[in-house]
C-alpha cells in the first residue's frame, strides 16, 4: 500500500473543503472496498479524509412522507431500521442479501453506492483493464466473463456494478443529495447518477470533483408489494449473477403499477421501463410476466461464458413477478 | 526492553523517514492504549503486532474469511479491512477479552463441548462473530433468510444461524458443530 496522510473531519462542509484542498485525496467511510483497492494499489490516494464520523447517520421520515437516509448510516442499521423494514422491505432485503454481517456493520450507504466493480480483471493488475487504465483494453471481453454484463456494455468494458442496495433504490426512485465545496447541495435521481461504460469506463458516475454524498432520499413507497431476489453461485455472501427488485400493485388481477430493476447485469443498476410498461394494465398471469421478461432482455448480449445470464435474468424476473403477485393477492396493500 | 518496545523499535527502523505516523488511543479488552502507527496499519495488525494480542487471526486480509473478526463498540467487524487510525476512542474486544482459561465465555465453553473446530485457526473469529451475531438477533435484526423482514421477533433456527455466520469461513468445515455450539448458547442450554 502506498503511503498516505490522514485526517478526520466532523462536518460535511469541512470534508468537501478538505477534498478540494487535496486533489490526490479520497474520502473513506467504511473502507470495506477502498482498503482492498489500496492494498492492491489500484487506488493510490496520497491523502485520506475520514468521513465515517460525520453526523449523517440519521434515518428519518420527512414531512411529505419520504425517507431520508444519511450517507454515513451503516448498511446493517439501514437494513434493520423499522421504517425501512415495514415501508421499504425491498431495500432491507437487498441490503441483507449483500456481503456479510461483519461488512454490513462497517459499510456505509454512501460508500456502498460508490463501490467499484468486482470484475476479476479490474483487480488483477497484470491484466488489461480500461477501467483501471484508460486505453489498456478489456481482458474480460474474451476472458472469464461468467459474472459480466449483458446489458449496456461496450467493447471497452463489460464489468457490472456490484451493489444490491443500489438496485432496490433504483426501483424505489431514490434521489441522492450531493454537497459541493461551494456548500451547495444538488439532488440527482439515482437513475441519472450512474453511467454506462461507453468508451470511458473509468468514469462510473456523475459525481463532480470533491462532491460528497450526504443523503439518499426515497419517495413514499409506491403502492404494491416489494421483493428483492438475488441469484448467485453461493447461497450467501456472494455477489449477484442476476438480481431483481420488483414492486407490483394489482387490482382484481390486473397490474396497476410495476417497478422493475435488475442487478448484476450492467455497469449500473438497470431499471427496465420497458418491462414496467409491458406489465402495467395487463392481467397478472404468467404470459404477462413472460412478455415483460422477454422485452426486458430484448437488447441483451452475451459474451460467451455469461450467455446463460440472459435466460437467468428472464426466469428470475418471471418467477419474482409471480411470487410478488401472489403476495399482493394474499395481503392487499 | 519489553517485547512491545522492541517491536516498535524494529518497526521504526524499517520505516522510511518521510512516512507519516499518527497517535491513536483506544481501549482493548478494557485496557487503554495509546500507540503511534503508520496510517496504513490495519486494526488487525495493531492488535497483533503492537498490542501483542495474537488471538485474532489473519486469514485472507481482504475481509472475506472472517478470521480477524473482533467487536468494536459492541459490533462485529473484520479488523483486517479497517485502519487502526480510524478507531481512535473506540472500545475493542478480542477473543482474549471474552473469557480466560479459568472463566470461559459461554460460547468458548460451547465450542469445546461441541467440538466445534479442528485446527482452530478460524475459532477466535467464529466466537467473536457469534457474540456480535447473538446481540444482533436479540435486537430483532432480520437476515437474508428471514421470511418477512418486517417481523419483530427473530427465531434463531439453524438456517438463520448459518446465514448470519456466513462471513466466517472454516477450512476444516466444522460447520455442523459450530451451529450446534451457537444454538446451545442462543437457546440457553449450554453447559
pLDDT digits (tens, 9 = 90+) for A122-154: 999 999 999 999 999 999 999 999 999 999 999
B26 pLDDT more than 90:
yes
Say whether both B53 and B133 belong to one domain: no
Could you tell me if residue B129 is inside a domain?
yes
CA-closest candidate to residue A191, choices A261, A102, A121: A261
CB pair distance less than 8 Å for A4 and B83: no
Task: Name the residue in chain B with its Cα closest to that of A78.
Answer: B141
Better-predicted residue by pLDDT, B10 or A197:
A197
In a domain, A173, yes or no: no
Residue B149 and residue B74 in one domain: no
Residue B18 pLDDT level (bands cut at 50, 70, 90): confident
CB contact under 8 A, B166 and A237: yes
Q: What three-state secondary structure class fits A29? A: coil
Domain range for A37: 5-48
Residues B18 and B71 in one domain: yes
* Res A333: pLDDT: 41
Domain end residue (candidates: B97, B132, B150): B97
Query: What CATH number does residue B39 fall under?
Result: 3.10.20.30
Is A80 part of any domain? no
Beta strand residue intervals within chain B, DSSP E:
22-28, 31-37, 69-72, 75-78, 91-93
Is residue B176 a part of any domain in this protein? yes
B176 and B129 co-located in one domain: yes
Mean pLDDT of all residues in B111-128: 98
For position A332, what pLDDT does the model report?
38
Percent of chain A residues topping a pLDDT of 90: 98
Look at residue A87 and tell me if it is in a domain: no
Q: Left, alpha or beta for A60 (phi > 0: left; psi -120 to 50: alpha)?
A: beta
Instruction: Look at chain A and report how many structural domains it folds into.
Output: 2
Q: Is residue A312 part of a domain?
A: yes
In sequence order, the 6+-apart residues with CB closer than 8 A to the CB of A46 are: A2, A3, A4, A5, A22, A24, A25
Chain A residue with Cα closest to B70: A102
Facing B39 at nearest CB: one of A6, A89, A237: A6
Domain boundary among B80, B97, B114: B97
Select the residue of B38, B77, B83 nearest A35 (Cβ to Cβ): B83
- Domain contains B191: no
Structural domains counted in chain B: 2
Give yes or no: residues B71 and B124 share one domain. no
Whether A325 maps to a domain, the answer reads yes
Let me know whether B139 and B165 are in one domain: yes
**Residue B11 lies inside a defined structural domain of this protein:** yes
Does residue A72 contact residue A109 with C-beta atoms inside 8 Å? yes
CB contact under 8 A, B139 and A80: yes
**Concatenated DSSP letters of A34-72:** HHHHHHTTSS--SEEEE-TTSS---EEE-TTS-EEEETT
* One-letter-per-residue 3-state SS of A202-230: CCCECCCCCCEEEEEEECCCCCCEEEEEE
Whether B115 and B83 share a structural domain: no
How far is A327 from B56, CA to CA, in rounded Å?
A: 45
* pLDDT for residue B78: 98
Parent domain of B44: 3-97
At A240, is the pLDDT very low, low, confident or very high (cuts 50, 70, 90)? very high
Using the predicted structure, report yes or no on whether residue A106 has a pLDDT greater than 90.
Answer: yes
d(CA A272, CA A293): 10
In a domain, A16, yes or no: yes
Q: Is residue B73 part of a domain?
A: yes
Q: What is the value of ipTM here, to two decimals?
A: 0.96
- Looking at B68, B97, B126, the residue that finishes a domain is B97
Predicted local distance difference test score (pLDDT) of residue A258: 98
Residue B81 and residue B113 share a domain: no
Q: Are residues B93 and B146 in the same domain?
A: no
pLDDT tens digits, residue range B79-96? Answer: 999 999 999 999 999 999
Q: Are residues B10 and B92 in the same domain?
A: yes
Whether residue A5 lies within 8 A of chain B, CB to CB, comes out as yes
Distance CA A248, CA A226 (A): 7
Distance between CA atoms of B62 and B67, rounded to whole angstroms?
A: 11
The answer to whether the Cβ–Cβ distance between B141 and A80 falls below 8 Å is: yes
Contact between B39 and A1 using a beta-carbon 8 Å cutoff: no
The CATH number linked to A303 is: 3.30.390.50
Does B82 lie in the same domain as B13?
yes
Residues B34, B64 within the same domain: yes
Over residues A15-25, mean pLDDT: 97
* Interface contact B63-A103, CB threshold 8 A: yes
Of B141, B150, B167, the CB nearest to A86: B150
Amino acid at each position: 500500500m502506498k503511503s498516505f496522510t490522514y485526517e478526520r473531519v466532523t462536518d460535511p462542509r469541512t470534508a468537501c473543503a478538505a477534498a478540494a484542498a487535496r486533489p490526490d485525496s479520497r474520502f473513506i467511510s467504511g473502507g470495506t472496498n477502498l482498503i482492498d483497492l489500496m492494498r492492491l494499489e489500484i487506488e493510490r490516494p496520497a491523502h485520506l479524509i475520514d468521513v465515517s464520523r460525520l453526523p449523517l447517520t440519521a434515518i428519518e421520515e420527512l414531512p411529505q412522507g419520504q425517507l431520508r437516509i444519511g450517507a454515513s448510516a451503516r448498511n446493517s442499521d439501514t437494513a434493520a431500521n423499522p421504517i425501512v423494514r415495514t415501508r421499504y422491505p425491498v431495500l432491507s432485503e437487498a441490503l441483507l442479501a449483500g456481503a456479510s454481517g461483519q461488512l454490513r456493520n462497517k459499510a456505509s450507504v454512501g460508500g456502498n453506492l460508490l463501490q467499484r466493480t468486482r470484475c476479476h480483471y479490474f483487480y488483477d493488475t497484470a491484466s488489461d483493464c480500461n477501467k483501471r487504465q484508460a486505453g489498456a483494453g478489456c481482458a474480460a471481453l474474451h476472458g472469464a466473463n461468467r459474472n459480466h454484463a449483458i446489458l449496456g456494455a461496450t467493447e471497452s468494458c463489460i464489468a457490472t456494478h456490484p451493489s444490491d442496495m443500489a438496485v432496490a433504490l433504483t426501483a424505489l426512485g431514490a434521489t441522492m443529495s450531493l454537497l459541493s465545496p461551494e456548500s451547495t447541495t444538488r439532488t440527482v435521481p439515482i437513475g441519472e447518477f450512474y453511467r454506462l461504460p461507453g468508451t470511458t469506463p473509468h468514469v462510473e458516475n456523475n459525481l463532480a470533483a470533491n462532491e460528497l454524498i450526504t443523503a439518499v432520499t426515497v419517495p413514499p413507497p409506491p403502492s404494491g408489494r416489494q421483493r428483492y431476489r438475488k441469484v448467485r453461485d453461493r447461497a450467501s455472501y456472494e455477489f449477484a449473477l442476476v438480481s431483481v427488485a420488483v414492486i407490483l400493485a394489482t387490482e382484481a388481477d390486473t397490474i396497476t403499477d410495476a417497478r422493475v430493476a435488475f442487478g448484476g447485469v450492467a455497469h449500473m443498476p438497470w431499471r427496465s421501463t420497458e418491462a414496467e410498461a409491458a406489465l402495467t394494465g395487463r392481467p397478472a398471469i404468467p404470459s404477462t410476466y413472460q412478455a415483460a421478461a422477454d422485452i426486458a432482455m430484448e437488447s441483451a448480449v452475451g459474451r460467451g461464458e455469461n450467455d446463460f445470464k440472459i435466460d437467468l435474468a428472464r426466469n428470475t424476473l418471471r418467477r419474482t413477478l409471480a411470487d410478488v403477485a401472489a403476495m399482493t393477492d394474499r395481503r392487499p396493500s | 526492553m519489553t517485547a512491545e518496545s522492541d517491536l516498535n523499535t524494529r518497526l521504526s527502523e524499517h520505516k522510511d523517514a518521510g512516512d507519516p505516523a499518527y497517535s491513536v488511543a483506544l481501549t482493548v479488552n478494557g485496557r487503554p492504549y495509546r500507540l503511534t502507527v503508520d496510517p496504513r496499519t490495519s486494526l488487525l495488525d495493531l492488535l497483533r503486532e503492537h498490542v501483542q494480542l495474537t488471538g485474532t487471526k489473519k486469514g485472507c486480509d481482504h475481509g472475506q474469511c472472517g478470521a480477524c473478526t473482533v467487536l468494536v463498540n459492541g459490533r462485529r467487524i473484520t479488523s483486517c479491512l479497517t485502519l487502526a487510525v480510524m478507531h481512535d476512542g473506540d472500545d475493542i474486544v478480542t477473543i482474549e477479552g471474552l473469557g480466560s482459561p479459568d472463566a470461559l465465555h459461554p460460547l468458548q465453553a460451547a465450542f469445546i463441548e461441541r467440538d466445534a473446530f479442528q485446527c482452530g485457526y478460524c475459532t477466535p473469529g467464529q466466537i467473536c462473530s457469534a457474540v456480535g451475531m447473538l446481540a444482533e438477533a436479540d435486537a430483532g435484526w432480520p437476515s437474508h433468510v428471514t421470511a418477512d423482514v418486517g417481523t419483530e421477533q427473530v427465531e434463531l433456527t439453524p438456517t438463520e444461524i448459518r446465514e448470519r455466520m456466513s462471513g466466517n469461513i472454516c477450512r476444516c468445515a466444522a460447520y455442523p458443530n459450530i451451529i450446534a455450539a451457537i444454538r446451545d448458547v442462543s437457546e440457553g442450554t449450554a453447559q
